[in-house]
């Protein structure tokens, strides 16, 4: 009898669990102008793809779309690399994929650190038990390439990591000659272009880059969720000759390469690609192909000048002093003395515009203004700086009133 009662009680308590109230309401997504470090706004031609019906991930039409994406990625990375595809995951998955394939126990890893992303690469390598050496620059500066060449010659690493555009500082690290030094000393050259691809010059083959990864949510204006990546023949040779198998199945470059049709072999099931995000990437690459990759880079450069001029007009200063080292698609701005960056960013957000504060060591010191893809536009940029200046003045006024009356 007691057992029956207990059973009934359990049944009652199980069936009486109410669904979360929040999920009975419609989702709220306010319009927002995304001028932070990413994601950026989606272009209409890309947003439209998100309501298209799904295809099976091995259907011939989807295989064709994957093929188009590979061609588009070779175009924007400027490479002939066969192993050029997109990892299912955000920018971090590109970093993890590159590192788990290109490093193995006993290897030495040289990290060029100009901000948070070098630290992140070093952290990942530490987790993998890999010996790491860092060569760093003070925040807001780049590491001179001569110092990098010297470090490669002395340390003789197996892999060298450089972040081309560090979104925590707004610095664009020069890459020229690093690839040559890597070849001379038997190292592979790995570049993070998550925040820079399409917004500043990059030529994987001319720079002798062995692996480069990026992300979809910055200059490409697509939703986050894929990490474009490309491996040189040297990199693939190293992966094929590893003493140990790659510890990750999901990020195994040879398996992924087969799934994306890079090796000319019969395609095997690896995972289910995020179909809609692949559509979005195809549309993003189509938009860049129509504009031209060099034209896109030039537009970002021209509009960075518009941004610098607007900042100057409003008495604001870029954080990166040397203009040649500024990342054209992401500008860091010094927070004026006595101003709370958060109050200002909060005021902008209530006006529907996002800019971000610093990241890692730059928190509190800077704002970060991303002008990626369609947001690299003269009028939009001038409006954002106008609103930034207005928000700063309002914050100043509020501080003054507070001081005066209380
Ligand atoms: N590298 C750089 C330079 C980045 O700016 C970011 C993201 N802001 C990442 C890597 C990581 O990308 P995600 O957030 O898409 O994982």
How far, in Å, are 180, 185, 189, 298 from residue 157 at the CA level?
A: 14, 8, 10, 35
Residue at 3 is within a domain: no
Query: Do 279 and 328 lie in a common domain?
Result: no
Check if 224 has its Cβ closer than 6 Å to any atom of ligand 1: yes
Residue at 93 is within a domain: yes
Note whether 163 and 359 are within 8 A (CB).
no
Which pLDDT tens digit goes with each residue over 41-57? Answer: 999 999 999 999 999 99
What is the per-residue pLDDT for 11? 60
Query: Do 243 and 388 lie in a common domain?
Result: no
Query: Do 384 and 251 lie in a common domain?
Result: no
230 CA to centre of own chain = 15
Query: Do 124 and 224 lie in a common domain?
Result: yes
Residue at 12 is within a domain: no
CA of 358 to the centre of ligand 1 (A): 14
Q: For a pocket test of ligand 1, which of 39, 87, 92 has the largest count of ligand atoms closer than 8 A to its C-beta? A: 92
Ligand 1 atom at shortest distance from the alpha carbon of 164: 3
Query: Do 82 and 197 lie in a common domain?
Result: yes
Using the 3D structure, point to which of 265, 291, 317 is the last residue of a domain: 291
CA of 233 to the centre of ligand 1 (A): 25
Backbone angles phi, psi at 229, to 5 degrees: -150, 150
Average pLDDT over residues 60-81: 98
Total number of domains in the chain: 2
Average pLDDT over residues 295-316: 98
Using the 3D structure, point to which of 291, 307, 324 is the last residue of a domain: 291
Which pLDDT tens digit goes with each residue over 107-162? Answer: 999 999 999 999 999 999 999 999 999 999 999 999 999 999 999 999 999 999 99
What is the per-residue pLDDT for 360? 84
Query: Do 232 and 356 lie in a common domain?
Result: no
Check if 335 has its Cβ closer than 6 Å to any atom of ligand 1: no
The set of residues, in sequence order, having a beta carbon less than 8 Å from that of 288 and lying 6+ positions away, is 72, 75, 76, 198, 220, 296
- CATH code for the domain of 355: 3.90.1150.10
Query: Do 270 and 383 lie in a common domain?
Result: no
Check if 89 has its Cβ closer than 6 Å to any atom of ligand 1: no
Residue at 284 is within a domain: yes
The whole domain housing 84 covers 44-291
- Is the confidence at residue 288, as pLDDT, over 60? yes
Backbone angles phi, psi at 225, to 5 degrees: 145, -10
Query: Do 57 and 123 lie in a common domain?
Result: yes
Which pLDDT tens digit goes with each residue over 74-109? Answer: 999 999 999 999 999 999 999 999 999 999 999 999
C-alpha span between 61 and 51 (Å, rounded) = 17
Note whether 284 and 276 are within 8 A (CB).
no
- Is the confidence at residue 8, as pLDDT, over 90? no
Query: Do 343 and 237 lie in a common domain?
Result: no
Using the 3D structure, point to which of 233, 257, 291 is the last residue of a domain: 291
Residue at 195 is within a domain: yes
Residue at 319 is within a domain: yes
What is the per-residue pLDDT for 280? 98
Query: Do 371 and 257 lie in a common domain?
Result: no
Check if 327 has its Cβ closer than 6 Å to any atom of ligand 1: no
- CATH code for the domain of 57: 3.40.640.10
CA of 36 to the centre of ligand 1 (A): 12
Note whether 110 and 154 are within 8 A (CB).
no
326 annotated among ligand-binding-site residues:
no
Query: Do 358 and 277 lie in a common domain?
Result: no
Contacts 24+ apart (CB under 8 A), 312-319: 313/385, 314/385, 314/386, 314/388, 314/389, 315/389, 316/385, 316/388, 316/389, 316/392, 318/170, 319/140, 319/169, 319/170, 319/362, 319/365, 319/366
For residue 396, what pLDDT band results from cuts at 50, 70 and 90? confident
Query: Do 262 and 390 lie in a common domain?
Result: no
Check if 117 has its Cβ closer than 6 Å to any atom of ligand 1: yes
C-alpha span between 353 and 315 (Å, rounded) = 20
Q: DSSP letter at 189?
A: E
Q: What is the number of other CB atoms lying within 10 angstroms of the CB of residue 88?
A: 20
CA of 93 to the centre of ligand 1 (A): 9
């Amino acid at each position: 009898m007691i057992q029956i009662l207990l059973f009934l009680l359990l049944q009652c308590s199980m069936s009486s669990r109410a669904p979360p109230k929040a999920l009975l309401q419609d989702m709220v997504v306010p319009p927002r102008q995304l001028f932070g470090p990413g994601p950026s706004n989606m272009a209409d031609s890309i947003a439209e793809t998100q309501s298209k019906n799904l295809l099976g991930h091995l259907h011939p039409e989807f295989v064709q779309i994957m093929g188009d994406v590979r061609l588009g990625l070779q175009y924007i990375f400027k490479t002939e690399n066969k192993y050029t595809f997109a990892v299912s995951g955000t920018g971090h998955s590109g970093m993890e994929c590159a590192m788990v394939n290109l490093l193995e126990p006993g290897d030495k890893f040289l990290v060029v650190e100009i901000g948070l992303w070098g630290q992140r690469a070093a952290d990942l390598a530490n987790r993998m038990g890999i010996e790491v050496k860092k060569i760093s620059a003070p925040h807001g500066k780049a590491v001179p390439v001569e110092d990098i060449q010297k470090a490669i010659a002395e340390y003789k690493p197996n892999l060298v990591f450089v972040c081309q555009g560090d979104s925590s500082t707004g610095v664009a690290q020069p890459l020229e000659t690093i690839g040559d030094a890597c070849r001379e000393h038997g190292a592979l050259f790995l570049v993070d272009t998550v925040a820079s691809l399409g917004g500043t010059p990059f030529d994987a083959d001319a720079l002798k880059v062995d692996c480069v990864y990026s992300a979809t949510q910055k200059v490409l204006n697509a939703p986050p969720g894929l990490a474009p990546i490309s491996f040189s023949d040297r990199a693939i040779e190293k992966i094929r000759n590893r003493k140990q198998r790659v510890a990750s199945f999901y990020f195994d470059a040879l398996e992924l390469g087969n799934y994306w049709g890079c090796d000319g072999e019969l395609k095997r099931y690896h995972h289910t690609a995020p179909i809609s995000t692949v559509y979005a990437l195809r549309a993003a690459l189509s938009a860049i192909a129509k504009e031209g990759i060099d034209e896109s880079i030039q537009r970002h450069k021209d509009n960075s000048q518009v941004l610098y001029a607007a900042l100057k007009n409003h008495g604001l200063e870029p954080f990166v002093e040397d203009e040649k080292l500024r990342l054209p698609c992401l500008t860091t701005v010094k927070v004026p003395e006595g101003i709370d960056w958060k109050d200002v960013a909060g005021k902008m957000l209530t006006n529907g515009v996002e800019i971000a504060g610093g990241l890692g060591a730059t928190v509190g010191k800077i704002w970060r203004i991303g002008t990626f893809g369609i947001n690299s536009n003269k009028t939009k940029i001038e409006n954002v700086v106008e609103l930034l200046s207005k928000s700063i003045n309002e914050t100043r006024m509020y501080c003054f009133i507070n001081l005066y009356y209380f």
